[in-house]
Amino acid sequence: MTELFTVLTPLEAWRRLREHLQPRADPEHIATQDALDRVLAAPLSAPHVLPTFPRATVDGYAVRAADTYGASASLPAYLRLAGEVAMGQSASVQLGPGQAVVVHTGGMIPPGADAAVMVEHTQTMDGQDIEVYRPVAMGENVIQIGEDVRASQALFPVGHRLRPQDIGGLLALGLTQVEVARRPRVAILSQGDEVVPPEKMPGPGQVRDVNSYTLAALARRAGGEPLLHWEIRPDHLEAVQTAAREARAQADLVVFTAGSSVSVRDMTAQVIGGLGAPGILVHGVSVKPGKPTILAVCDGKPVFGLPGNPVSAMVIFQLFVAPAIALFLGTEAPPERKTPALLARNVASQTGREDYVPVRLAQRGSETWAEPVFGKSNLIYTLVRADGLVQIPLDSNGLSEGEMVEVRLF
């Protein structure tokens, strides 16, 4: 089966997967205050203007701007006090010419007034009149009706990921419920005769399952809901086929993190190949580490065969699974945190292959250096000791010591 496939570049591989996917975000309604980092499944527009009444932005007096023209410390404008607008209440007074009304920051500007003067630029006289020492322009120190949000204004498009201020903005308009994309379910199937669950003491020749939980955490970060309840199956075809069919039925995406031996890899390919049409689309990607990757679509659901070693699995997850989760959310993968750094030593690569090198950041004086962590990619602690990955592009045969690189932080 492997012979039918040629190794593709990451971009070619992604395009081939993408063209066989018609993901649809599945909407659900949740409380806006619980919607941080969730992705909108429907566009939102304003149910009403904001603010709904003209508001003072200062503590002071609502006035007619024209009444203050030319006012100065030596020649103040004299205005007659005509009441006060209490906070949280409607203005009960109508402001006439030559009048001033006490207003508080955020309070309503009464009808008849078109500006506010700051209390600092005034003095009260006898309790009946005030002196104004500076002119204000029309609209000064006032937020107009609809200045924050206009009527029926479009607020957010489909696919927008909600940030803290967005939640505040929606609640300001009384939008206490939002329609968001359900978190795509990501089934993670680990297999291999040598793999035991973390709570078990491995026997001779056995190791604990590492990849499932690393991948589950990555899936959660990407906005998905990991499903891990498939037992680690012994390497027998039928058991794996049954688990795979269950996973495909229950999840939106299926990720195999296979045992590392060639027999298990071959079986994974066989299981994915039999899981639904069109089946395997990519078998082998020009990425190091991560070449023996399988990308498939089975009955409309993306299925990934990730390499068994931890570094490869993480690289391939970020390259293909995280963007696929984003497709099911109707958005793009959340932007990575990146930082520039100077490469601490030469790193060789091959043209035609995209390399990902784990690096550790080190501060040397005012400079940040990226020191490659040259552990084998079979070692989980190679990733634990690293702060991020440096990409060596497809068309490069390596990077030089002292070169400025961009580190994709974990």
Tell me which of 125, 342, 394, 409 binds its own copies, using CB under 8 A: 409
Q: 26 or 179, CB closer to its own copies?
A: 179
Write the DSSP string, 119-188.
GGGEEE-SSSEEEE-S---TTTTEEPTTSSB-TT-EEE-TTPBPPHHHHHHHHHTT--EEEEEPPPEEEE
Q: How far is CA 350 from CA 133, 332, 376, in A?
A: 75, 30, 18
66 binds its own copies (CB under 8 A): no
Q: Which stretch binds its own copies (CB under 8 A): 22-30, 93-101, 141-149, 279-287?
A: 141-149
Tell me which of 3, 70, 74, 205 binds its own copies, using CB under 8 A: 205
Tell me which of 70, 127, 174, 365 binds its own copies, using CB under 8 A: 174
Cross-strand bridge partners of residue 60: 103, 118
Q: How far is the CB of 74 from its own copies (least distance, A)?
A: 27
211 binds its own copies (CB under 8 A): yes
Q: Which stretch binds its own copies (CB under 8 A): 86-94, 126-134, 244-252, 281-289?
A: 86-94
223 to 282, contacts with its own copies by CB under 8 A? 235, 259-264
Let me know if 351 is exposed, middle or buried by CB neighbors in 10 A (0-12, 13-18, 19+). Answer: exposed
216 binds its own copies (CB under 8 A): yes
Q: Which residue has the tokens 């078109």?
A: 114
194 binds its own copies (CB under 8 A): yes
Q: 80 or 338, CB closer to its own copies?
A: 338
Whether residue 69 contacts residue 114, with contact meaning beta carbons closer than 8 Å, is answered with: no
Q: How far is the CB of 322 from its own copies (least distance, A)?
A: 11
337 binds its own copies (CB under 8 A): yes
Q: How far is the CB of 255 from its own copies (least distance, A)?
A: 13
Q: How far is the CB of 155 from its own copies (least distance, A)?
A: 7
Residue 365, C-beta contacts closer than 8 angstroms, at least 6 positions apart? none
Angle at 287 (CA atoms; ends 281, 290), nearest 5 degrees: 80
96 to 125, contacts with its own copies by CB under 8 A? 104-108, 119
Q: Which two tokens stand for residue 344?
A: 């601490």
CA–CA distance, 337 with 379 (Å, rounded to integer):
24
Count residues near its own copies (CB under 8 A).
88
User: Kind of pairing, strands 404-409 and 338-343?
Assistant: antiparallel
Tell me which of 270, 350, 375, 396 binds its own copies, using CB under 8 A: 375
**How does DSSP classify residue 110?**
P
Q: 72 or 263, CB closer to its own copies?
A: 263
